[in-house]
Structure formats: structure tokens, C-alpha cells
Structure 1
Amino acid sequence: MPAVRGDGMRGLAVFISDIRNCKSKEAEIKRINKELANIRSKFKGDKTLDGYQKKKYVCKLLFIFLLGHDIDFGHMEAVNLLSSNKYSEKQIGYLFISVLVNTNSDLIYLIIQNIKNDLQSRNPIHVNLALQCIANIGSKDMAEAFGTEIPKLLVSGDTMDVVKQSAALCFLRLFRTCPEIIPGEEWTSRIIHLLNDQHMGVVTAATSLIDALVKKNPDEYKGCVNLAVSRLSRIVTASYTDLQDYTYYFVPAPWLSVKLLRLLQNYSPPAADEPGVRGRLSECLETILNKAQEPPKSKKVQHSNAKNAVLFEAISLIIHNDSEANLLVRACNQLGQFLSNRETNLRYLALESMCHLATSEFSHEAVKKHEDVVILSMKMEKDVSVRQQAVDLLYAMCDKSNAEEIVQEMLAYLETADYSIREEMVLKVAILAEKYATDFTWYVDVILNLIRIAGDYVSEEVWYRVIQIVINREEVQGYAAKTVFEALQAPACHENMVKVGGYILGEFGNLIAGDQRSSPQVQFQLLHSKYHLCSPMTRALLLSTYVKFVNLFPEIQTQIQDVFRQHSNLRSADAELQQRASEYLQLSILASSDVLATVLEEMPAFPERESSILAVLKKKKPGRVPDNEIRTSKSPHPPNSSGTNNHNDSNNTSATNADLLGLSTPPSSGNTTSGGLLDVLGDLYNRNNSTPSNQQNNAKKFIFKNNGVLFENELIQIGVKSEFRQNLGRIGLFYGNKTQSPLHSLSLELLWENSTKLNVLMKPVEPLLEAGAQVQQMLTAECLDDFADSPGMAVSFVYNNVPQKISMKLPLTLNKFFEPTEMNGESFFARWKNLGGDQQRAQKIFKSSSPMDLAAARTKLLGFGMQLLDGIDPNPDNFVCAGIIHTRLQQVGCLLRLEPNKQAQMFRLTVRSSKETVSQEVCDLLSDQF
């Protein structure tokens, strides 16, 4: 405790010594209980306690609390200490309040009044104590009470520098808690000009505050750019003696330099009509790069750390601006020197920064010069995270000139690569092989090698991809059949290879059947030798291949029919295998050769559609994969067709879900062919989701699901597919024309005024929707704060010269931004108890709208977004859930309890949250659905 020695609180020192000398937990608890009883009696019975004694007892309570024991008294005595004029007493009072007082406490208004008194004090020490307390508590009440007071302190000419510094950091804390307190325009210029302050501590604190304000309102604070560049220029060109008090191991003001460089990354580079600012910034960056080349002024690690911190932030700004070719190349060369540095962290950071440089047209060639060193890093580095970064950089620097070499090196390393990065490497190799393939026989070889080397890590998207490319390119079909036939002859053949082989030979086995070594009989026996070693899903695919063989090779029809008749197929426990075997058997027996040729004809070319492999990779490593766009290509999986043309329809759902919206690579928004709505959405729009042709708006159903038909009438069908991650969401709306005439003047208007809580942006669509066609529109949503209503949309168009208008609600509700949270019973009920205040809970008792079905209630709660916690509530019929709502600036924990009363056909729903509005909004949203 800070005041023990200086104030000579002997009783506190003795108490701490007694606790430390306790031999057991029981002895410690006994001593603490004795002390608590003594303090309680002193507070209740002794009316003559002076400030020193109150301070001593409050210190003891603080110490007991820090040991992990609950303290339920002493708060008023701590508040009384705030009125003292003695620094040590006021300090202990503020410390106790900052640590122990709940923001919902009845004393909070009394505390606020004491803080206001100290803020108006002429004693800067008292003002600083008050500011530190406000920042430590940082509640919404504090923000509302002092949101206008602190900016006055911050810009006042009478305020001491040390108080300005604390005021800037305090206001930053409150702004992060409550962004609504952002100061008005009259404060903007005065806050920005703090960057010109003479005191470096004030400038450092103000830079952090301005950086946060800029992210909220960049246009209003754009004037900070000139001042930030000017201040940075003065620091960079200063010697360590000029800023002696703020020089760290011969580096002038490194922390302020880093903050200024980060602040400048919020804006695009200075415009050409500002040559002075642009030139001064370039000069600063060049000076930082020059200083990095100078011999170190100290051998201590602190010097190199500070110097490199500024250097890497400067390089980040160079990459962000992406406008000065000379600076980009120099930055690349500087980073290249770090690739051989002894420090692991430096090598990691160098590789990470070079990944971004590789995406710039100015520095891509400079990055490629370090290819050999990067390949060596991938193979030889001891730290797996550095090896991961080396793989990322190889992926980023790859182009037509070095694609084959990089892919070959990555394939070679894949055999010994860490298990944690194999799946990501497989995706990257597949993407590079397709993007830079000039000869698709090479692409086929690469993918088959991938399956051979790392079969367990080859996702379905990859082998779907090679099938689709082979089907769409006649020139590679014979080579693919021959290559996959040879690959299947390996003694140990991965199941993914069997899938690829089964599909390709079923389609193009006739192209190699002329060779005795790959005759129809040999092909069939080779595939069937793998049959009993495969999963039911792969067996189903092979059965489809066999029935294709019936059409391609009538001479082996009898053998194939015998396989269909086998007891293990016709009587299989797997319904899919059983159905395929029986149907294919009857088809091969009853159908004529012409019917067989029609039903079992070769798969048609897949329609043009965006690749999903790149999106899958970005989802696995968001923010770490450069936007290495892959060419628009065919559908990555077999279409959802019925009958025998679908080799793997048992697995179509997983294939469709692999990239619901391409969150990282937006799908094209052009028109598709007729019947496109079901084609785009796949079997997500199954019979259970279908709607009659009369007008229907199904917005309420989407509280519990993300995909389906949102609206339908006799003219238009509107489908939706959405995906949410933390506070961000992406929604795809599909407008399908059900008529035989085009829809003209298609116009979409967002009906939403509460953009301060939910920010929704939507892309425009073409005004003409052809007959039977479909157009896709993408919307993005960001949850800024909790909200109660859902945005609306007005859809207008003209059909046969008659204007039509549809109004509907979008499937954007608060629960979409839930993150499920696992909790055990003890944690749940402890948290439930802590959130017991009237301001933290909401409750509704309501009658079930239909006969009570607990299974249906469970299904709804599973789709609501929270984590359903089984086996926690003592009553097995009750449901309890936990989740966290993500907004831009905060995360709000939320607990839910649904208690059904079967006899009365009633539900009692209780929601508890740290934020009152969230509790009420979640309660209202869910109760309407039962």
C-alpha cells in the first residue's frame, strides 16, 4: 500500500504482517474476520474518528478486498475522505472508490459532486486525483456528468500542463465508453491545436485522443494532418539533446512519433495542391529510413527497440499512402535486411510488412528480389509463426514469372510443414495454381499432388474446383482421366483422391478406355477396390460413377448390377446408399440405351460464378491474406440437380455453405439465367421454406435463421442469405422475376433513420430485371449500439406499365450480433446474481401463441444466436442462455432464462444484462416469437 511507510500507519503494517504470517487459509480467514468486525464496530460506534483513522481502516478494507474477499461496508467513510484537504486521505478515498464502488451504487451522485468540487479546485494535485478517478471508473454516468467539464480543462489557458495531460487521457477513456459525448465543432480546432503545445506530455496524450476522435469523425478533424506532420518533422530532425527529457536511449520522443505516424494513417496522403505538407511528410519518412541505416548510438536493446518501433510505423504509413515509389522500394530494401537479423521478432515483423508491400505495384518487384531468403525462412525458421509469415509472403509475391517455382517450393515444404498451417497452405497452393496456370495440365498435376501429400487437409472446395475446371475445359479432360487413373493405383490412396478419381472417370473414363492398361474392366475394378475402405458419402459418389459406367461401357453392365444387388448396398443402414443402389439397379435394368444415354449424359459446363476458395482462406485468416484476386471461374461444386447427374448431391449443403456470401470477395451482381433464385441459393430454399404465390413477407422468421425467402408474390421473389461476425454483417438479397415480362425501373430505397445505432450500406442494382432472371444486391451492416427496431426497405418497379411498390422489413435484428458464450452453472448463476438490479433486467410473462412445444422452443433458442446451456437449471424444462452482443465500441454480456408453465400454457422470460436497454430489447424481441 503506498501510504504505509510515509504516513506511518503502524496498525495497517501489523495487520499485513499478521496476514503474511498465517500458516493456513483458515487462519487467514479468521484473522480477516476479526479485523472486519473491529473495523465495523469502529465505523458504527466511534463518532470521533479522525481522517487518519478513517484512512487507515479504509486501507485495511482495500487490502482485504485485494486478497479476494467481499467488502460490503466502508463506502461512505471512503466518500467522506474525498472532502479532506490532505493529499494522502483524498488519495485513499479515490483509490477505494475506483476499485470497490459499483457504478449502480446509491453513492454515485454523492461521489460525482465531490469530484466536481475537486475539478474546480485551484490545487492541481486534487484536480489530477479527480481526473484519475473518472478515468478509472469510466462509466456512462461519469461521461454524462463530466463530458462538458473535461474539454474545458483540456483547452483552458490557465490549466497546468500536467492537468491537461490527465484531462486528455481521461476524456479519451470516457469517449471510448460513451461516443455520444464527442465535443461539438466549437471545440474541434482548439483540441487539434494541442498538437502544437510546448509540453511534449500534453502532445502525446492529445495525439491519442485525436486519433480516437478522427476514427469517429475524420472529416471534422482533418486539420490535424498539417499539425501532425509539422510536429513529426520537428521530432525527426531534432537531436537527442533538443528533447532531452523525452529522449529514450538516444531516440527523440519515440512514443509520440509512433502515435503521430498512426494518426496520419487515418487519412489518404496529402493532396497535390498541398505540396508543402506532402514534401515535409516525405522528408520525414526519408529521414527515418536514413537514420535506420546509421550505426547504432547504443548497444542496448532498448535503443534498437525504440528506433525500430518508429521505423516500422513509418513503413506502415508508406504502405498506407502507396504513392511514393522511391519510399516503397527503400522500405522494402530496409525490411530485406531484417530477414537475416538474429531477433525473431524483427524477422516476423519484416515478413509481415513485406506482405503488404508485395501488393503495391511500385514495390512488388523489389519484394520478389528476396524470394530465396523467404523460401529459406519458410523451411528453416525455428518459430512456427515466422514460418507462417514466410508462407504468407510467398503467396503475396507470387506472379506469372515465379508461380511455378513458388508452388513447387510450397508443395515440397508441405510434406514436413506444421500441422497448424497445412490446411491454409493447401488453399494457397490451389489458388496460385489456378490463378497463374497457363497450361491446365500443370494445374491438375498440382491439385493431385496436394491430395497425395496432404489429403486430410484438402477441403472439399479444392477438389470440387479441380472437377469443375476439368469439366469446363475439353483440352484437359483426357489428361486428367489418365493422371487420376495412375494416381489411384498407389497402394495408399487418400479418400479425396478416390472422390476426384470417381467423378472424373465417371465422366471421361471413355477417353482412356482404348488402352488395355486402362480398359473399362480395369477402371471399374480399380475404383471398386477402394469402395469398402471409404465413407458412406464417398461410396454414394462411386455408385453414381458405376451407373455412369453402365452408359459408357455396356460390356461391364452385369458386374455393376451385381454390385448394386449386394446386401451391403440394398440393405445398407445408410439411407442414401440404399436409395441409390436400388434406383440405379432398376434404371440399368429397365431403361433402354437411348434413355440411359439421355439420363446419364455427360455433365454440362458449370455456370460462371465467383470462386469460394479465396473467401475460405480469408475467413480462416482474416486480415492476414492479401487481396490476391482469383479470376472469375466456374461454380466450385456440382450444381444441385436431381437424378443421376449429381455425383455428390448428399454433400451439396456443405459445399453451398462453404462460402455463403464470399465475405472477403463480393460476388458479382449481374443477372443470372432463368430459375436463378433456387440456383444461387441452392437447397437452402427447400420445401419447408417455400411460400405460396400470394404475397408474403417473412421477416419475423429470420430472427432464428439467416437464409430463406424473405418476400414472395406472383411477380417477384426476394431471397436472403446473410452472415454475421461480431458487430459486422453482410446480407445478400436476391430479386427473382417470376413473370414472363421484364420488370422496369427497379428501385430500392432503404428506410432507416437510426444510423447512429445501426449503419447499413447497400450497393445499387441495375434498373432492368429480365423475364425469369435474377439480380443480386449486397448490403453491409455495422452495429454501432444496441437498437430496437429493424430497418425497412421499399422495392419499386414497373410491370406491364403498372407501377408496383413493396415495403418490407430487413432481417437485421439485435440478436444477429450475438456471440454464443459457454458457461458452467456456477459462473452463470454468479453472473445472474450480480445482474440482479432493476436497471439490468427485463421480464415478461406471456401466453403461448400455440400449444406449448418445448422442442420447438429449444429450436428457436438455438437459432437466436445465444449459447443454450444444457443441464444448468435445476428445473430440466427451463432454458438458460448466455451471449455477448458486439457493437463497435463495446461488448455487452447478456443472460436469458425461459421458464415454461405447461399447465397454464404460459412462459416467463427473464433477460439480464449490464445494460438496461439491451435487456428490454432482447426480451421484447424474443417474447413476440412464442
Structure 2
Amino acid sequence: MSMLEQIENKVVGAFDQLGIKFTPSSQRLRDLIRQIRSARTAAEERAVINKECALIRDSFRAEDNTWRCRNVAKLLYIYMLGYPAHFGQLECLKLIASSRYTDKRIGYLGAMLLLDEKQDVHLLVTQSLKNDLLNNNQYIAGLALCTLGSILSSEMSRDLAVDVEKLIKNSNPYLKKKAILCAIRIIRKVPELMEIYVPSVRNLLSEKNHGVLLGAIGLITEMCIRSPDILSHFRKLVPNLVRILKNLILSGYSPDHDVSGISDPFLQVRIIRLLRVLGKNDLESSESMNDILAQVCTNTETTKNAGNSILHETVLTIMDIKSEPALRVLAVNILGRFLLNQDKNIRYVALNTLLKVIHADISSIQRHRGTIVECLKDPDVSIKRRAMELCFALINKSNIVEMTDELIQFLQTCEPEFKADCSSNMFISMEKYAPNKKWHVDQMIRILKSAGNNSRDDIVSSFIILISNTPELHFYTMYQLVQMIRDDVTQQPLVQVASWCLGEYGEQFLSNDYEGEKINEEEIANILIKVLNYNAGLISTRQYAINALIKLTTRFPVLTDHVQTIMSIYGCNMNLDLQQRAVEYHTVLKKFDNLREGLFEQMQPFELKQNYNIEEEDDVYEAKTEEDKIQEQERLKQEAAKTLIDIFGEDSSEPITTQTKSTNNDILGIFDAPLTAPVKPAQNNNLIDSFFDSVPSSSAPTVSNLPKNDLLDIFAGPSVKSTSPKPTSGFDDLLGLDGLGTTQNQNKPIVSSNSDVLGMFSTQNGHANLNGNQSQSMVIYEKNELKLTIEPTANGKGSNQAQHFVQLKAENQSFSNVIRDFLFSAAAPKTMQLQLSQPDKTNLPPLDSLSQTIAIANPNKEPLKLMVKLSYLLNDRPIQESNFVVNIPFFN
């Protein structure tokens, strides 16, 4: 214990004996900082902070005004270290109410750190802010403006917006620029208040102070982004902005605003950005700014980052407005020079900007394709990522061969995190622009070999679909694949495709005359057995191999005994799926040999997936700026609200056809065979009568309508439903074959569960009825990589049998694209009540999903139908589906 502490303890003890409470002076902030930094362990630091917090609390309880400012300052430091300091909120308000500037400064600093709009305490500071905004001391008014901009809420914005507007008209530049920045925050919080600031903003453009001018242009930009009417109003100011920008470019040296020989680059960038907002989709405004933009491009130095930032903003403006073609070429050439810069940041900015503006002039960007391809070799991963994305955007029919060779070379040497995206995008590009099928197949094999185990499952399934639809290349493809996997089965995607080909077309090795090493049936079986025995192989790869072996028994009867032995071995496999497949296949070989030929016949070609319009060779997405996104969101919200207000009072177009997916044609369940079920359009002119006064009718499928190539559900066809059910056990009919030859009561098909590979263990009791609530789901929308399904929730029907709950699930099926600003709206007939819960998220990353609950009150027990409106952003493109009708059959 130090000498000072000993003396302090003796003094405290003496005062206690006299019955007088002694309050020692508060420790200074610098002493607390020194004490905390000297702590050797985290526990010692916590002990110091807890002791100091206890002393601060005692001082607050004692209403000690002497050390309140010092204690709040220490508390703020403790808060910045991550410790709780909520008990100091009211003390901050007391300091704000003080007349001393030093107290107000610490009080406002504490309010900005400890308060936000979620804290009810922040409303108590409104009156103090109002008083200080009118204070004659500019520094006190400035503190109030800073605090207001930091913690303002909607209520506070409405109360103080007029006071801020008065300060904008103040002659003091110090207060004026702070008031302008505060007005920007108010507009972002409460957009409808922007009308207050429109009259006073026009005069700000004549200010000589660059700080005020910078804030004024930011305020105008914010208002133009959020209001089309105000945007039209401020388009009249384009000549004024052009004049200001020209003066900045031509002005001489100004030591107050010079940055690397350029006069106030910050103001120039803000003006050019505002010109972009004002000139977008407006020919007259664009023509008036073409000359000044060309002058900026030619007169700005590129040796310093200040000049490069101005050129970058100028390029974005040129490509976004209705500029002249020659000016667009000049802008792209500037970005081309950026690509040759030694600075990695500038190269990255150039690639990113080219990706944004590629929609505007792709032909000019194609001239720099060689430089862009060279960026694929850059050691910086961020530059490689942007260069790869830009390369895919540049691919078309004329350069697909050259670009594919470059990208495959990149795929062979790039990091593993690039391989999945690169291989998937390459397949999409080749599917769109491939010159012929043989070239397409060859390149797909090269891609799978180069990407190795980093390829996604969609590449495998897409390649199999391609092979199945090119019968003239079946043997060629299979031969190439077999030669690759005979001695190397480590590349699992390649092995999966090869296994599928052997199972479907393996007999062609014996029937085709070809040059090269001959392969007999035993060698084919040995290749598949080698795949099964590879310990590091994936379960999905073994599924492909075991399916291929069982199918080969119909082509090569000599292999039947050998395959049966393998199935008996895998009947004890630890993996449930492989075990079930092996047991069911072994049963087919042993007891139902007469069915084997039909069960394992060659599959029909899969339906090709068309995810895009092949005729659109230069179909690239249009990158949206931040202001575009805000305007698009506001427009979509307004349209959605307008539609739902009067959604049943307008005529509607024909309802869209709904689609259901079936995986019956795929032995692994990885391909889609869509079956369309068109909804009959209403004949009545009244939309309400046609959709809600009629009961939908549906016919159950018959045996002839069921898929014939169902290898996963071969025994799950229509079954007999007796009027007097007999008790069954799990061992009475292990394979579910009692009703195999019957045809009675075929109007109720049984749906096989996914866990039963061959459908042999299915019984009717284990499946959902079409009128029940057991594991039902219905696809109501599948387009643009977004899939919407609805299903009854666990709540089912309410206790009064009139309240229904439906779960909406939205799935992003893309592997790389993000779906943003998802908005699902619905309306029900007037006889029903509809309530939509908030979705758990509005942005969907790749392969992610969200859910939303729909509660429907149907007291009249009418057929459930909804009118749906859907909007979202895909690759920053707004997509909207309006007024399509969804039938909900679960509760009818």
C-alpha cells in the first residue's frame, strides 16, 4: 500500500470517528487509463474497472455535481472498452442541461455513445436539443446538431426539422454545413420531411464556402434519389452545377482546397455524382453535361489517386446517362488504362467498374478482353475474382472457344475456392454458346478433370442431361470417361458421370467397332467395383456405381451372380441408403427376376432445362447503383400497396399455369421432369365470381398416367383399398407386393417416400392423403432461380375448423446469385380474413431459404384461393409477378 493511500485511510478513519462522511476526490481520467493499462491480466483489469464503476455509482447517488463531468468521461472510456455503462445515461442528460460548455460537451458525447432511438431515455433530450439549437454560441449549437444527427428518431426528426431548416439559412458557415448534414439524416429517417428543405437548398449552390457547397450537393442528391418529383425540380440546376464544376477545373492553385495539384477533388466527385442522378433517363440534361464530362476526362491527371477518383466517378456518370457514343468509348478506354496501372486497388476498381457498366457498351469493353484475361494471372485473389466474373460476362458466340481455353487454364491453376464458381459458370456459358455438341462434351470433360472434387453437384446433373440428349455421342463420351477413371477414381464428379454412363450405355462397348483397347463386361464391372471399394469415395458416388451395376445385369446376364454377391455384401453397409438399395436390388434379383428387364431398362432422355433465352447473346445484367435500388424499392412498395388495396376490383389476366416437379424419371432423384398442370381460365367477366364462387375440381391420375421410367418408385403404384382393413405388421409384406397385380380402386395413388429407394417398403398408411395435412407441399412459383412452396403448418386447422395456417417457403436455388428485397403480398376474398407474418429475412444468399406464415380465417368454409403479388431483386434486376391466383387444396 502506498504512502498516499495510508494517509487517505487514516483521514477517512478520523472523520468516521467524528461521525462525518468523508468523500475523497474523484480519480482523474488519465490516472484511470494508466491504472487499467498497467493491469497484467484480464481479471486484474476487471477488478480495477468494477471498483471504479462502484465509486462512480456512489458519486451519482450522492448527487455530487463537482465530479459528475469527470465521472461521465471515465464511464465513457469504460464503455469503449466493452463494459456496461447504461447507468450513466441520465447523468449525461444532467450534463446536457448544464450551462457550462465543458459539461455540455461531455454530456452530448455521452448521449451519442450511450443513447440511440431504441432507448426511451433519448426522448428526454429533445427539449435540451431544441434550446441548444437556438443558442447564440455556435459551438453549443454545433454540439446539438452533431448529437441530433447521431441519435435522432422519427419523433425527434418531426419535432426539430424546422429548427434545423432555420440553421440552414443561418449566415454562419460553421452552423450551416452541420445543419445540412443533419438534414440529410432527417430525410433518411423521415423522407416526407424533405419538402421543408427544398426552398432553402437552391440558394446554397451560390455559396463560396466549399464545406457548405459539399453538404448542399449531398442534400440535393439525397432528395433526388428519394423523390422523382424533386428530381424533376432540380434538373433545372444542371447548368449551375456544370458552371461550378468548370470553375473548379479551370481555377488556379488554391492552397485551401488543393489535393495533389487538383482543386477540391471531393467537391468535384460529389458534383459529378449529382450530375449522374440528374442526367439518368433524361436526354436534355445529358446533352448539357456531355461537354464538361469530356473536359474532365481529358484534363484530369491520372498520376495521383485524387485524379483517378474523379475519373472513376466520371466514367460511371458517362455510362449511366444518355451520353454520346464517342464519350462512352473514351470512358471505357480510361478503365482500360486503369487495368494497366501498377496499383492493385486501381486495377480492382477498374474491373469492378467494367462489370457495372458492361450493359452500356459491351463492344467497347470487348477490345480490352486480353488485358482482362491477363488479370486472371494476378496473385491478388480479389482481382482474380473480379476478372473471372468479367470474363464470363464477355463470353458470346464469337469468342466462346477462345475464352473457354483461357478459363480452363485458369481453372487448372486457381485456388480451390474459385473452382466451384468457375466450373458452374463455364457450363452455363457453354450451354448457351457452344458451337456443337461434341465440342461441348469435350470441354465439359476438361472442366470436370480440372476442377476435380471442387465441382458442384449441378455440374454433374447438367452434364448427364447433356449426354442423355446426344445419342450420337453416347459411346464417344463414355469411352473418354472410362479411360480417365480406369486408373484414377479420386475425382468424384468425373467418376459419377462415368458410372451413370456405364449403367445406361455400357453394352455399347461390346456392340461398337472402335479403334483402341477393347473393354469387356468383366472389366466394366471391375471398374464399378473399384469405385465402390474406394474408401475415400462419396456416398453419392457409390450410389451411382451400385445403380450402374444393377442395370448392367440386364445387358450382361453373365454378371448377375457377381452383382448379387456384391448386393448381399452391401446389404450390411453402415450407410442406410446404400444398405436399402442393396437389399431391394438383391430382392429383385432373387425373387422378381421376371421384372428385372422392365425395371432396369435404359432411361429416356431428360428434359433440357432452359434457364435463359439463347437468342440473347449479350444478355448481361444491368448493375444498379444505390440510388436505383432505393427508387426501385419505393416504387415496388407503392405498387404492392396499391394492388392489394383494390386487388379484387380490377380485371385480371389469365392465371398462370402451375408446375409440379417429379423426380420419378431419375434413379438418384437429381433431375427434374416438370409436369405442367394448366389452370382453366375463368369465363366470367367478374374476377371474384370466377375464382371464388366455384369449387375447383381435380381428377386423380390413373395407372396409364403414371411415369413408366420410375426406378425409385417401381412398386408404389395404385393399390387396393379394402372396405374392411386387415391388420398388418411390418413383416407381413416386406416388399409391399400384395396388390401388384390388382387394378381395383386405382383413383388413389400412393406417393412413395424419399427414403424408400425402390418403393418396396411403402404402405398406404405411411403416406399423405391428398386431403390431409401430412407432409404436403405444393409449388406455387418456380422461376428465375426462386422456388416458392406452401404447406400446412403443424398447427393445421384451428379449434373451430375455420382457422388455417399455411407455411410459405422461398428457396434461392442459385449457386452464386443473391435474391434481395423479397416481398410476398397476398389478398383473400372479402368473406375471409388474411394475415401475413413478417418473413424471417428479406435477402436470400445462394442455396438459402426463408419462411413466412399465412393465417387464413375461413368461417364460411369456402375453397381457399389467394391473389398473390411477388417482387424481388435478382442480380439487382427488379422482378415482379403480379396478380396470379394460388389454390390451397389442403383444407378443402
Normalising by structure 1, what TM-score?
Answer: 0.62
1:222 to 214, 218, 232: 232
Contact 1:195 1:228 in 2 (8 A): no
CA–CA distance in structure 2, aligned partners of residues 30 and 519 of structure 1: 80
- 1:691/1:172 Cα in 2 relative to 1: closer, same or farther (>3 Å)? farther
1:536 to 533, 539, 550: 539
AA in 1 matched with 2:338? F
SS of equivalent to 2:407:
helix
- 1:225/1:605 Cα in 2 relative to 1: closer, same or farther (>3 Å)? farther
**Equivalent in the alignment of 1:799:** none
**Equivalent in the alignment of 1:91:** 105
CA–CA distance in structure 2, aligned partners of residues 320 and 589 of structure 1: 70
**Equivalent in the alignment of 1:440:** 437
1:19-74 Cα deviation digits (max 9, x unpaired): 52674368888887887787777777688x67xx6645554554555566655766
AA in 2 matched with 1:170? C
SS of equivalent to 2:228:
coil
Contact 2:478 2:501 in 1 (8 A): yes
What are the within-5 Å matches in structure 2 for residues 396-407 of structure 1?
396-407=393-404
**Equivalent in the alignment of 2:366:** 368
AA in 2 matched with 1:223? H
What are the within-5 Å matches in structure 2 for residues 157-196 of structure 1?
158-176=170-188, 178-179=189-190, 182-183=192-193, 185=195, 187-191=197-201, 194-195=204-205
**Equivalent in the alignment of 2:840:** 815
How far has the Cα of 1:86 moved from its partner? 4.8
Unaligned runs of 5+ residues in structure 1 are 1-10, 297-303, 615-620, 625-637, 657-672, 710-717, 724-728, 736-760, 762-779, 785-789, 796-804, 821-861, 866-886, 889-930
Contact 1:461 1:612 in 2 (8 A): no
**Equivalent in the alignment of 1:249:** 260
1:648 to 657, 668, 671: 668
What are the within-5 Å matches in structure 2 for residues 197-212 of structure 1?
197-212=207-222
**Equivalent in the alignment of 2:289:** 281
Matched, 1:24 2:29: no
1:433-490 Cα deviation digits (max 9, x unpaired): 2222112111111121222222211111001111101212333323222222222224
AA in 2 matched with 1:118? D
Matched, 1:556 2:547: no
1:306-332 Cα deviation digits (max 9, x unpaired): 111111111122233375322222122
1:99-141 Cα deviation digits (max 9, x unpaired): 3456677764552212111222344333222111212223445
1:777-801 Cα deviation digits (max 9, x unpaired): xxx99479xxxxx943348xxxxxx
CA–CA distance in structure 2, aligned partners of residues 495 and 72 of structure 1: 57
AA in 1 matched with 2:139? I
CA–CA distance in structure 2, aligned partners of residues 647 and 688 of structure 1: 24
1:216-250 Cα deviation digits (max 9, x unpaired): 33344333344256415522453343866433232
What are the within-5 Å matches in structure 2 for residues 644-793 of structure 1?
646-649=666-669, 708-709=777-778, 719=780, 732=788, 782=821, 791-793=825-827
SS of equivalent to 1:342:
coil
CA–CA distance in structure 2, aligned partners of residues 125 and 480 of structure 1: 79
AA in 2 matched with 1:285? L
Larger Rg: 2
CA–CA distance in structure 2, aligned partners of residues 809 and 46 of structure 1: 55
What are the within-5 Å matches in structure 2 for residues 798-877 of structure 1?
809=834, 813-817=838-842
AA in 1 matched with 2:376? M
AA in 2 matched with 1:160? N
1:681-722 Cα deviation digits (max 9, x unpaired): x9999899997556x9x8xx9xxx9x923xxxxxxxx74679
SS of equivalent to 1:222:
helix
What are the within-5 Å matches in structure 2 for residues 904-919 of structure 1?
none
CA–CA distance in structure 2, aligned partners of residues 597 and 267 of structure 1: 71
How far has the Cα of 1:652 moved from its partner? 6.5
Contact 1:791 1:809 in 2 (8 A): no
**Equivalent in the alignment of 1:662:** none
- 1:359/1:689 Cα in 2 relative to 1: closer, same or farther (>3 Å)? farther
Contact 1:135 1:174 in 2 (8 A): yes
SS of equivalent to 1:609:
coil
Contact 2:528 2:549 in 1 (8 A): no
- 1:17/1:600 Cα in 2 relative to 1: closer, same or farther (>3 Å)? closer
CA–CA distance in structure 2, aligned partners of residues 30 and 692 of structure 1: 65
**Equivalent in the alignment of 1:569:** 570
1:149 to 163, 172, 176: 163
Contact 1:75 1:101 in 2 (8 A): yes
**Equivalent in the alignment of 1:474:** 471
CA–CA distance in structure 2, aligned partners of residues 684 and 268 of structure 1: 60
AA in 1 matched with 2:469? N
Contact 1:151 1:167 in 2 (8 A): yes
1:137 to 151, 154, 161: 151
Contact 1:182 1:213 in 2 (8 A): no
What are the within-5 Å matches in structure 2 for residues 406-445 of structure 1?
406-445=403-442
- 1:571/1:85 Cα in 2 relative to 1: closer, same or farther (>3 Å)? closer
**Equivalent in the alignment of 2:270:** 259
Contact 2:469 2:606 in 1 (8 A): yes
- 1:568/1:136 Cα in 2 relative to 1: closer, same or farther (>3 Å)? same
CA–CA distance in structure 2, aligned partners of residues 308 and 863 of structure 1: 45
CA–CA distance in structure 1, aligned partners of residues 460 and 358 of structure 2: 29
SS of equivalent to 2:232:
coil
CA–CA distance in structure 2, aligned partners of residues 291 and 263 of structure 1: 20
**Equivalent in the alignment of 1:633:** none
Contact 2:388 2:422 in 1 (8 A): yes
Unaligned runs of 5+ residues in structure 2 are 1-24, 615-620, 625-659, 675-698, 708-712, 714-750, 755-763, 792-809, 811-818, 854-871, 874-892
Provide the aligned C-alpha RMSD in A. 4.8
CA–CA distance in structure 2, aligned partners of residues 492 and 55 of structure 1: 73
CA–CA distance in structure 2, aligned partners of residues 603 and 114 of structure 1: 79
- 1:334/1:42 Cα in 2 relative to 1: closer, same or farther (>3 Å)? closer
1:800-834 Cα deviation digits (max 9, x unpaired): xxxxx9968586534355999xxxxxxxxxxxxxx
Matched, 1:499 2:519: no
AA in 1 matched with 2:312? F
SS of equivalent to 2:777:
strand
Matched, 1:391 2:391: no
SS of equivalent to 2:417:
helix
How far has the Cα of 1:340 moved from its partner? 2.3
Larger mean CA deviation between 197-206 and 438-447 belongs to 197-206
**Equivalent in the alignment of 2:18:** none
Contact 1:374 1:394 in 2 (8 A): yes
Larger mean CA deviation between 191-200 and 381-390 belongs to 191-200
SS of equivalent to 1:335:
helix
CA–CA distance in structure 2, aligned partners of residues 580 and 45 of structure 1: 78
AA in 1 matched with 2:463? V
CA–CA distance in structure 2, aligned partners of residues 574 and 42 of structure 1: 68
Normalising by structure 2, what TM-score?
Answer: 0.65
What are the within-5 Å matches in structure 2 for residues 10-89 of structure 1?
16-17=30-31, 19-20=33-34, 23-24=38-39, 55=69, 58-63=72-77, 65-66=79-80, 70-71=84-85, 78-83=92-97, 86-89=100-103
AA in 2 matched with 1:422? K
1:823-880 Cα deviation digits (max 9, x unpaired): xxxxxxxxxxxxxxxxxxxxxxxxxxxxxxxxxxxxxxx9899xxxxxxxxxxxxxxx
How far has the Cα of 1:557 moved from its partner? 4.2
